[in-house]
Amino acid sequence: MHNLGTVIKFETLRALKKPTFWLAIFAIPIIYAVIFFIGHITSQQTNEKLKELSEGKFSFQITDESGVVDNNIVGQFEGKISANKEESIKEVKEGSLDAYYYIPKNLQEDKIELYGKDRGFSETDKYRIVLDAILKNSGNTVVEPNKIAVVNKTYKTDQTIFKNGEKYDRVSEMIVPGAFLVIFYFVVSLLSGRMLTSTTEEKENRVTEMILTSISAKTLIVGKIISLFILGVVQIFTLFTPIILGYFAVINGKLSGVNLPDIRPFIENIKLNPISIAIAVTVLVAGFLMITSFIVALGSAMPTAQEAGNWMSFIILALMAPFFMMNMFLVGSNNLAVHVISYFPLTSPIALLLRNTLGTLAIHEAIIGIGLLVMFTAIAITLAVRIFQYGTISYGKKVSLKTLFSNK
């Protein structure tokens, strides 16, 4: 292991010198920001369009047998009451009337009938929007405001939770542990490709025998894993440094001329739980090392990065599986499936971080989970070293389990 420092330095600097490494750091955040921005703009445009449609004037008649429609509301929309359903439908067909609404006596069993003149998809939709507005406004005139608030769920709730005799805000304690969950997701997403190619590059270039003449397989594999960990730390600092500097610039008045939301109340409300933070940091480090070791072992077993990539998708899918089982975590920790995926190697990092964020991870469970992560990391490193040793003489084919465990 006397060349370990050399391997770490070489692998780290080789990655830092590549422009693609720095581009990859900001790729995912930028993509998420663009998607959020497009979604926000689209939502605004949709709301404006709906408002425009609801305010658009058109001729219509309405027949109400249910007795819920207020004639004054109909008049506000410049509509008219019809006593002849067939005649109104005829006018719509002929084009002299834009729309006609027939509201049956029993709204629970029968359907409201809407007849309209075609004006294109978006313009035709305003018929339904105006009908909804008439019915809603009519209902508001005959129902008490408190009942309206209950039905529409527009009432406000001020919730106070107590824990151990003191006021407790779970969300404020979830922010920091949740940040480590986000960090783990981003770092693994950004570095998974580099983890995979860290060993396949040497095999594809046919230089592994030359490397192993001066460096042992154990030193090389451990050095690559440590260098990947260092690169992960670099990515974390690169992503969060602008956010931290921006926050201090805001609170110090450096960006007073920029129209930014004041996040100081939000920051001040964050509560730090030392135990929860310590668990999050430990799980993050142990989980990252374990996943890195497994992926490095996978890369060592495959002849090319392309073939290894086909198998890595299963590792990433298993790693992200807890996100697809979110309901089980929200219900509580007294669930066998939650405990299984909390201790299963590939699902445990995110499962433990998620439970730690939700406050459902007991200290003894965290200790067991972290201990298993460390054990699985050691097993993965051992496998990666052994696979890499035999992979050097297995150009063009996979390292079989029979070969791996039968040779001494």
Residue 145's domain is classified under what CATH number? 3.40.190
What is this structure's pTM? Answer: 0.64
Is 252 in the same domain as 400?
A: yes
Q: Select from 152, 183, 202 the last residue of a domain.
A: 152
pLDDT of residue 396: 54
Asked if residue 47 belongs to a domain, the reply is: no
Residues 141 and 234 in one domain: no
Q: Is residue 41 part of a domain?
A: no
Lowest mean pLDDT among 132-146, 197-211, 234-248, 325-339: 197-211
Domain extent for 120 = 56-152
E strand residue ranges, 113-214:
113-116, 161-163, 166-168
DSSP 215-276: S-HHHHHHHHHHHHHHHHHHHHHHHHHHHHHHHHHHHTTTTTTS-----HHHHHT----HHH
In this predicted structure, the answer to whether residue 24 has a pLDDT above a threshold of 90 is no
pLDDT range class, residue 212, cuts 50, 70, 90: low
In this model, does residue 375 exceed pLDDT 80?
yes
Residues 113 and 238 in one domain: no
Structure tokens at 45: 């445009």
17 lies in the same domain as 126: no
Strands 113-116 and 161-163: unpaired
- 152, 180, 197 — which closes off a domain? 152
Task: Kindly state the average pLDDT of the residues 371-388.
Answer: 86
Find the farthest-apart pair of alpha carbons in the chain and give their distance in angstroms, rounded: 98
Residue 265 vs residue 289, higher pLDDT: 289
Residues 200 and 270 placed together within one structural domain of the fold: yes
User: Cβ atoms within 10 A of the Cβ of 283, count?
Assistant: 27
Higher pLDDT, 62 or 201: 62
Cβ-contact 329, 322 below 8 angstroms: yes
- Structural domain includes residue 87: yes
62 and 203 in a single domain? The answer is no
What's the pLDDT score for residue 155?
Answer: 74
- Based on the domain organization, do 120 and 210 belong to the same domain? no
Tokens encoding 53: 């449609």
Q: Within this chain, do residues 114 and 261 fall inside the same structural domain, yes or no?
A: no
pLDDT, mean of residues 78-101: 91
Residue 43 falls inside a structural domain = no
- Residues 256 and 364 placed together within one structural domain of the fold: yes
Number of domains in the chain: 2
The reply to whether 160 falls in a domain is no
**At CA 11, angle to CA 381 and CA 243, rounded to 5?**
100
| Share of residues in the chain with pLDDT > 70 (%) | 77
If one compares 379 and 401, the residue with the highest pLDDT of the two is 379
Whether 73 maps to a domain, the answer reads yes
**64 sits in which H/E element:** strand 60-64
Pair 170, 143 in one domain: no
Which of 152, 183, 201 is the endpoint of a domain? 152
- φ and ψ at 158, to 5 degrees? -110, 105
- Predicted pLDDT of residue 281: 92
d(CA 388, CA 299): 9
225 and 99 belong to one structural domain: no
Specify if 45 maps to a domain.
Answer: no
* Amino acid in the structure at residue 58: F
pLDDT band at 133 (very low <50, low <70, confident <90, very high): confident
Same domain, 106 and 25: no
Task: Please report, for residues 237, 310, 312, 343, 394, the alpha-carbon distance to residue 300 in angstroms, rounded to integers and kept in the order given.
Answer: 29, 14, 12, 25, 10
Instruction: Specify if 113 maps to a domain.
Output: yes
Question: What pLDDT was estimated at residue 248?
Answer: 67
How many Å apart are CA 185 and CA 175, to the nearest integer?
15
pLDDT band at residue 209 using 50, 70 and 90 as cut-offs = low
Name 77's bridge partners: none
Local structure of residue 103 (DSSP, 8 states): E
The contacts of residue 372 (CB under 8 Å, 6+ apart) are 343, 345, 348
| pLDDT tens sequence across 156-171 | 887 777 777 777 677 7
d(CA 240, CA 397): 42
- Copy the structure tokens of residue 199: 């060993």
Percent of the chain, pLDDT > 90?
Answer: 15
